[in-house]
Structure 1
Amino acid sequence: MSGGAQRARSTRRYLFKRFVQVLPTALLIVLFSFLLLKAAPGDMVDVMAGESGGATAEYMQEMRELYGLDVPMHRQFLIFLGNISRLDLGYSFRDNMPVAELIWSALPATLLLSLTAILFAVTVGVVLGALSAKYRGTPLDTGITVFSSIGFATPLFWVGLMLIVTFGVKLRWFPVAGLTTVGLQHASAWAYVKDVAAHLVLPAFSLGCYYLALYVRLTRSAMLEIFDLDFVRTARAKGLSEWRVLVRHVLRNALLPIVTITGLQLGSLFSGTVVIETVFGWPGIGRMAYDAVAARDLNVFLAIFLCSSLLVIVMNLVVDLLYAVLDPRIEVTA
């Protein structure tokens, strides 16, 4: 058997093995989140009764029977698994619509926010990290390192609030809440795009600052490890310019840890935006998950948690396969 065929067979076995591992892993994650939410006091009926100013015990019991909350916990979980086996994420009685439609309606906003933040963080973070490694020990290196340390240590919600106060309230440069201006849905396409972009700046920058600090530190450390290797000294001995050595030899070989972090961050699209979407009133899946926990909407929360868990598992698999593409020395084995 040729080397290419053997490698393809090994990759198929690896994919099958990882696929088999996905099901019990996702099941355990959903079970843990189900028990955790059930351990919290109250349920959806209690929350609805509190919002409406009160209700009789008889009415609340009828509501629990209607929503299936009167059956034992294990039966509720089995019902949820039965729905999932039929590719049915359940029904949100609070929002009066299927959970799949809820998630689908909020997905574009979360994708827009997360991908913009990660693109900003990767681009700026890798450039700053490369400059820091190139000019190590200089004031530029010190300044970039201090900046990344502050960005890494600063809480996301505090960054968001400070941006709102500074650029939204005092300077009035950007809107501070929502995806679009109310009533602008019927404007021209270009006006709508500009309005969405203006609403996107502050939340994307807030979320991207944390990721930016990670990429700066990771790129700098990875490149410093490579600078003194033999193949870099050989490239310099051949007379290549320092910038060409930096970009084509050092930075290219420092991509593996960057790919790892990027894949993990893409896998946490749902969970990573909860704080920012809540602070800025961004109508995405992160805010939906927060509202579902507050309202004890079990079906919505479990569906979001399941989708988030599966996305993390899939992205980990994609990262493993990209390793083999970026570095032929790495083989995926079952």
Structure 2
Amino acid sequence: MLAFIAQRLAKAVVVLLAIVVLNFMLIRMAPGDPAMVMAGEAGASDQIFVTQLREKFGLDQPLPVQLYRYVKGIVTLDLGFSFRQQMPVAKLIAERLPATLLLTVTAFVISLLLGVLFGTLAARFAGTWADTAITIVALIFYATPLFWVALMAILLFSVAMDWLPSFGYETVGANYTGLAHVLDVGAHLILPATTMGLFFMATYARMTRASMLEVKRHDFVKTARAKGLRDAVIQRRHVLRNALLPVVTLAGLQAGTLVGGAVLTETVFAWPGIGRLMYEALLQRDYNLLLGVFVVCSAMVLAFNLITDLIYRAVDPRIEFAS
């Protein structure tokens, strides 16, 4: 197992470096000059000032030199310096990352639990009205744009009913501490996390239903019934456990993308995470900050893929680690 993890980590490092180089080249080829943007906002867009800014931030160097310096910094865990925020990129991301992790992990847990639950119910009552209702609801949430669901949730639960706060991470000026602070953050978390979770829940529900219906036709399930096992035991121990493998695969792939997919949710709900930070960096042409967010998101995707491989072994002991 340790050898497997070491091999996967070595491959992940190579993949991450390739992603860094690709992202660097793509962003540098995009239109727009951060020096011109900063000079324009400063009200001093003359060529001398722009040249000074380019020299200050190393933008006057040839592209291969800029790439070499950036990759060298990545190797030493230096994500660079934000032109616009005047702060180290690593510090900016570290400030925003906990909020994003809280949002995405909560949304992931909600989507996975509800998806597996409703998928199991749909498979258990396949062909009935319950199966039809779950399928329709899942398709509605899957087909509806995420930002529209977010806006409707704000209008319903925040504006109309006044049950939940609509924006932000915590109540501004409240200065809660201890349990009161936890409850305040939790109240602000409900709408964005549920909005994200419902979209992915639909996918897991459909996948769980299809996988369970397929597993039910296997001979070992018929053998379990012939032995007189209760249906609940068969569903839990034999059908669901074997049906979870494709669900785990899908969950592992989507867990990493949740961070990048949080851009819309964080923007609509004014959630102070790295998704919103990435959007702001894009508008401001803050190359280093944008690249730093990409690196962190890519590393998280690779980490989730490794965790998924390890979970396989727990779900199905027949699976052995291989290089």
TM range (shorter): over 0.9
Using the alignment, how far apart are the partners of 1:157 and 1:78 within structure 2?
Answer: 39
User: 2:231 maps to which residue?
Assistant: 242
Letter in 2 for 1:130: T
Shift of 1:27: 2.1
Q: Does 1:139 align with 2:129?
A: yes
Correspondences of 1:148-297 after superposition (within 5 Å): 148-184=138-174, 186-297=175-286
**In structure 1, what is the equivalent of residue 91 of structure 2?**
101
Deviation for aligned residue 1:269: 4.0
Does 1:123 pair with 2:113? yes
Q: Give me the TM-score of the superposition, normalised by structure 1.
A: 0.91
* 1:54 CA displacement: 5.1
- After TM superposition, the runs of 4+ consecutive aligned structure 1 residues lying more than 4 A away are none
Q: CA deviation at 1:107?
A: 1.1
Match of 2:7 in 1: 17
Structure 2 distance, partners of 1:61, 1:166, is: 51
Deviation readout 1:234-271 (Å, 9 max, x if unpaired): 22222222222111221111121222222223323421
> For residues 120 and 210 of structure 1, what CA distance do their matches in structure 2 show?
10
Q: Give SS of 2:162's match.
A: coil
Aligned counterpart, 2:21? 31
Q: SS of 1:91's equivalent? A: coil
Query: Structure 2, unaligned stretches of length 5 or more?
Result: none
The aligned length equals 323
C-alpha separation in 2, matches of 1:95 and 1:302? 14
Do the aligned residues in 2 keep the contact of 1:111 with 1:269 (CA within 8 Å)? no
CA contact (8 A) 1:269 1:308 kept: no
Deviation at 1:203, TM superposition (A): 0.6
Counterpart of 1:15, as a letter, is I
Point out the more displaced range, 165-174 or 194-203.
165-174
Amino acid at match of 2:254: Q
Q: CA deviation at 1:154?
A: 1.3
Compute the displacement of 1:207 (Å).
0.4
CA distance in 2, matches of 1:157, 1:54: 38
One-letter identity of the residue aligned with 2:231: E
Contact 2:122 2:130 in 1 (8 A): yes
Q: Work out the CA distance in 2 between the residues paired with 1:305 and 1:95.
A: 17
How high is the TM-score relative to the length of structure 2?
Answer: 0.94
Taking the TM superposition and a 5 Å limit, the aligned residue runs for 1:67-86 are: 67-86=57-76
Tell me whether 1:90 sits opposite 2:84 in the alignment. Answer: no
CA RMSD of aligned residues (A): 1.7
Mapped contact 2:215–2:243 kept (Cα < 8 A): yes
One-letter amino acid of the counterpart of residue 115, structure 1:
V
Structure 1 regions of 5+ residues with no counterpart? 1-7
AA partner of residue 285 (structure 2): R
Letter in 1 for 2:15: T
CA distance in structure 2 between the aligned counterparts of 1:165 and 1:31, rounded to whole angstroms: 43
**Residue 62 of structure 1: CA displacement?**
0.9
User: Whole-Å Cα distance in 2 between the matches of residues 123 and 24 of structure 1?
Assistant: 34
- Helix, strand or coil at the partner of 2:130: helix
Contact 2:36 2:45 survives alignment (8 Å): no
**CA distance 1:123–1:86, change in 2 (3 Å):** same
Q: State the shift of 1:292 in Å.
A: 1.1
CA distance in structure 1 between the aligned counterparts of 2:299 and 2:179, rounded to whole angstroms: 36
Give distance in 1, aligned partners of 2:259 and 2:37. Answer: 24
Are residues 97 and 248 of structure 1, via their aligned partners in 2, closer, same or farther at CA, if it must alter by over 3 Å? Answer: same
What's the offset of the Cα at 1:299? 1.2
CA distance in 1, matches of 2:181, 2:300: 30
Residues 88 and 251 (structure 1 numbering): CA distance in 2 closer, same or farther, change over 3 Å? same
Shift of the 22–149 alpha-carbon distance from structure 1 to 2, 3 Å rule, reads same
